[in-house]
A and B are shown apart, each in its own frame.
Chain A
């Protein structure tokens, strides 16, 4: 699906070239890009996150695994500002962001592809992408960034004038990812991008994330599809009942007997 020459001119996003295959904190100059320290968060009736600590370094793909209700989406909502943490700290590029509004946080360079895609149903594909570029709004016209998204997802280009609500699930996932890219983020949060998709489409979604990572995008990925996520990510965290219970390089976790039993079903 992604037929894009490696050396092609890129006048859209600023990619840092060369992806480190393994996370290596020693290589990062000024600390991690994203750092959560003992984050607590929840809703009126229930505490969901009970002290979550994790780090994402520049250029890494980090995966957050866990079962339904473990607190994965709550973690994402706390990072992107939709839910104010009740304790702990969240730092992006060293600056504290816990409790800031989602608007402030996206303007700092952190973009989210929400669970269930959440495309703007009544807006056209093109309008959805424009809304994604809202932090950099200038003229309301298709931009180089939009061409970039269309070259990544040719299906979207074919349907650019169609209402997003009429797209298939896979196309909506592509649109949600393209929309998030339009803000030229330095960190991309993906909440269960494979949810509800056919296996072939899941492969496409993971191929795309891999391509973005190869171009230097830093990614925090939340997944239930552990096999595919471990394949893609440099490092993984496993979340259980609001706490990180296991973490480490993906290759190590893949070999671990407990993880295989609990998340890979083998």
Chain B
């Protein structure tokens, strides 16, 4: 049953990519902006989780997920409020805004290095060593948390975007910013909420990823694969981001097993190139977004 284990771990890793990719897509959809700091937000979330675990070692993992997401969400909203809102409202050039996201990403990763050091840290929780047996093969318990979080998050996002005023305001602004403002929705609401929610989702990815590997100031490098996932699924589409993440996760897991783990990254990007050759606008070009 090695196949089943690989399938499940591929899905789990894919979910991590998908979570980061959803953050890329949400901000792109709402503001037309590629936020390259998204992967550093994930890193920050992992460290926020680590700091919380250090303070309260016995905390249940589910609670850790919620608290770290909430705290990182506030940080994301603050970053938007301080660094982006004025620029977005005054219609700053996209090049400037993208550079701003890159700069903020660097500040975040260097800041984390300053606070938590250059050496990777591990989550000291029993969950890391917990293993389920599936037909005799080991399956990390963290993977179960990853898939469960992914499903819960999709349900929560669906509720948020279709059943709350804030969610509706973000979607209306994404469709037509000027017209939304004449309905009483300020651009700031949409950008603040998008950054806040995308940061919460990034923190979920970080806290779920850290127990599989570690937390480190440079762990944001997986973000480039998540970005590829968002592009595969068409930037701006949340279902697309999930599909793209799962495709990359499965491709690199099975590809790595069939060929060699050393080629995992190039397998993932070969898949992306192949898909974009066939469908230049990704898998969900006009499908329902958000």
By a beta-carbon cutoff of 8 Å, the part of chain A in contact with chain B is 80-82, 101-103, 105-107, 111-112, 114, 118, 120-123, 127, 130-132, 134-135, 137, 140, 163, 179, 183
- Shortest distance in angstroms between B86's beta carbon and chain A's nearest beta carbon? 14
CB pair B163 A82 closer than 8 Å: no
B: number of interface residues (CB 8 Å): 23
CB pair B168 A82 closer than 8 Å: no
Once the chains are docked, how many angstroms separate the CA of A121 from the CA of B288?
A: 11
Once the chains are docked, how many angstroms separate the CA of A123 from the CA of B168?
A: 9
List 17 contacting pairs A-B, 8 Å CB cutoff, sorted by A.
A80-B182, A82-B182, A101-B181, A102-B178, A102-B184, A103-B186, A106-B184, A120-B175, A120-B176, A122-B289, A123-B172, A123-B175, A130-B168, A131-B169, A131-B183, A137-B165, A183-B184
CB pair A82 B181 closer than 8 Å: yes
Q: A120-B176, A120-B179, A134-B165 are in contact. Are A103 and B184 (CB under 8 A)?
A: yes
Tell whether B90 is near chain A: CB-to-CB under 8 Å: no
CB pair A123 B186 closer than 8 Å: no
CB pair B181 A102 closer than 8 Å: yes
Tell whether B180 is near chain A: CB-to-CB under 8 Å: yes
- With both beta carbons as reference points, the residue of chain B lying nearest to A106 in the complex is identified as B184
Contacting residues, chain A, for B172 (C-beta < 8 A):
120, 123, 131
> Which of these, A103, A118, A132, A140, contacts B165 with CB under 8 Å?
A140
Once the chains are docked, how many angstroms separate the CA of A241 from the CA of B261?
A: 69
Q: A106-B183, A134-B184 are in contact. Are A140 and B168 (CB under 8 A)?
A: yes
- Shortest distance in angstroms between A237's beta carbon and chain B's nearest beta carbon? 22
CB pair B168 A131 closer than 8 Å: yes
Contacting residues, chain B, for A114 (C-beta < 8 A):
178-179, 182
CB pair A120 B171 closer than 8 Å: yes
Once the chains are docked, how many angstroms separate the CA of A123 from the CA of B161?
A: 11
Once the chains are docked, how many angstroms separate the CA of A120 from the CA of B172?
A: 6
Contacting residues, chain A, for B176 (C-beta < 8 A):
118, 120-121
- Shortest distance in angstroms between B161's beta carbon and chain A's nearest beta carbon? 10
Tell whether B2 is near chain A: CB-to-CB under 8 Å: no
Once the chains are docked, how many angstroms separate the CA of A233 from the CA of B164?
A: 40
Contacting residues, chain B, for A102 (C-beta < 8 A):
178, 181-182, 184
CB pair A131 B185 closer than 8 Å: yes
CB pair A122 B181 closer than 8 Å: no
New contact pairs (20) apart from A102-B178, A131-B183, CB-CB < 8 Å: A80-B182, A81-B181, A101-B181, A102-B184, A103-B184, A103-B186, A105-B182, A106-B182, A118-B176, A120-B175, A120-B179, A122-B171, A122-B175, A123-B172, A131-B180, A137-B165, A140-B165, A140-B168, A179-B183, A183-B183
Contacting residues, chain A, for B164 (C-beta < 8 A):
140
CB pair A140 B163 closer than 8 Å: yes
- Shortest distance in angstroms between B239's beta carbon and chain A's nearest beta carbon? 13
- Shortest distance in angstroms between B180's beta carbon and chain A's nearest beta carbon? 7
Which has the most chain A C-beta neighbours within 10 Å: B182, B185, B290? Answer: B182
- Shortest distance in angstroms between A16's beta carbon and chain B's nearest beta carbon? 23
- With both beta carbons as reference points, the residue of chain A lying nearest to B176 in the complex is identified as A118
CB pair B184 A107 closer than 8 Å: yes
Contacting residues, chain A, for B168 (C-beta < 8 A):
123, 127, 130-131, 140
Once the chains are docked, how many angstroms separate the CA of A105 from the CA of B165?
A: 20
- Shortest distance in angstroms between A219's beta carbon and chain B's nearest beta carbon? 16
- Nearest 5 pairs between A and B by C-beta? A102-B181, A120-B175, A118-B179, A135-B184, A134-B184
Contacting residues, chain B, for A163 (C-beta < 8 A):
288
Which has the most chain A C-beta neighbours within 10 Å: B162, B169, B174, B178? Answer: B178
Once the chains are docked, how many angstroms separate the CA of A120 from the CA of B168?
A: 11
Once the chains are docked, how many angstroms separate the CA of A103 from the CA of B185?
A: 6
Once the chains are docked, how many angstroms separate the CA of A170 from the CA of B183?
A: 21
Contacting residues, chain B, for A140 (C-beta < 8 A):
163-165, 168
